[in-house]
Amino acid sequence: MAQSPGTPRLLRRLNDRSALELLLSDGPLTRAELGELTGLSKVTAGQLLARLEERGLVEVTGERAGGRGPNAALYGVVPSSAYVAGLDILPESITVGVADITGKIVVEVTVDPLDGKDPVKAVLNAVQRACNSARIAQSQLRSFVIGTRGVVDPRTGEVRFSMDLPGWHVGVLASLRRTLGASVIIENDVNLVALAEHRYGAGIGQDDFVVIWAGVGQGLGVMLGGRLHRGITGGAGEIGWLPVPGEPLPTDVSRPTSGSFQRLVGNEALGGLAAAHGIPGRTVPEQIRTAVARDATAYLEDVATRLAVGVAAVAVVLDPGLVVLSGDVGKAGGPLLAAMVEQAVARVCPSRPSVQATRVAGNPVLRGALVAALEQAREQVFSDTV
pLDDT digits (tens, 9 = 90+) for 96-120: 999 999 999 999 999 998 776 889 9
Please say if the pLDDT value at position 17 is more than 80: yes
Mean per-residue pLDDT of the chain: 91
DSSP code of 253?
T
pLDDT computed for residue 167 by the predictor = 85
CA angle in degrees (0–180, nearest 5) for 171-139-146: 40
Cis status of the peptide bond prior to 113, with omega within 30 of 0? no
Cα dihedral 261, 346, 357, 229 sign = negative
Q: How many CB atoms lie within 10 A of CB 68?
A: 4
Rounded mean pLDDT of 32-43?
90
DSSP code of 300?
H
Collapsed DSSP state (helix, strand, coil) of residue 90: strand
Contact assessment for residue 264 and residue 309, using Cβ atoms and an 8 Å cutoff: yes
Q: Is the pTM of this model over 0.85?
A: yes
pLDDT digits (tens, 9 = 90+) for 264-281: 999 999 999 999 999 999
59 φ, ψ (degrees, to nearest 5): -150, 160
Rounded mean pLDDT of 307-332?
95
pLDDT computed for residue 346 by the predictor = 95
Question: Residue 328: how many CA atoms within 13 Å on its side-chain side?
Answer: 14
CA distance 215 to 31: 50
> Which residues make Cβ contacts (< 8 Å) with residue 225, sequence separation at least 6?
207, 208
pLDDT digits (tens, 9 = 90+) for 56-97: 999 999 988 866 778 889 999 999 999 999 999 999 999 999
Rounded mean pLDDT of 277-296?
96
Burial of 204 (0-12, 13-18, 19+ CB in 10 A): exposed
- Lowest mean per-residue pLDDT among 74-78, 264-268, 374-378, 379-383: 379-383
Q: What is the dihedral of CA 263, 266, 272, 276, to 10 degrees?
A: 100
Phi-psi region for residue 353, left (φ > 0), alpha (ψ -120 to 50) or beta? beta
Q: With bands split at pLDDT 50, 70 and 90, how would you rate the model's confidence at 207?
A: very high
Rounded mean pLDDT of 338-346?
97
pLDDT digits (tens, 9 = 90+) for 132-149: 999 999 999 999 999 998
Burial of 169 (0-12, 13-18, 19+ CB in 10 A): middle
E runs forming strands in the chain: 29-30, 58-64, 72-77, 83-90, 93-100, 105-111, 141-148, 151-152, 159-161, 184-188, 209-214, 218-224, 227-228, 322-326, 354-357
pLDDT computed for residue 166 by the predictor = 83
Residue 49 identity: L
E runs forming strands in 122-226: 141-148, 151-152, 159-161, 184-188, 209-214, 218-224
Rounded mean pLDDT of 153-170?
88
Q: What is the dihedral of CA 326, 329, 332, 333, to 10 degrees?
A: -90
Residue 69 identity: G
pLDDT computed for residue 116 by the predictor = 67
CA angle in degrees (0–180, nearest 5) for 282-286-289: 155
Please say if the pLDDT value at position 257 is more than 90: no
CA distance 178 to 346: 50
Closest CA to 311 of 321, 296, 297: 321
- Lowest mean per-residue pLDDT among 100-104, 161-165, 313-317: 161-165
Please say if the pLDDT value at position 162 is more than 90: no
CA distance 73 to 64: 6
- Lowest mean per-residue pLDDT among 16-20, 165-169, 303-307: 165-169
Characterize 223-260 residue by residue with b for buried, 16 or more Cβ atoms within 10 angstroms of its Cβ, and e for exposed. Answer: beeeebbbeeebbbbbbbbbebeebeebeeeeebebbb
Rounded mean pLDDT of 27-48?
90
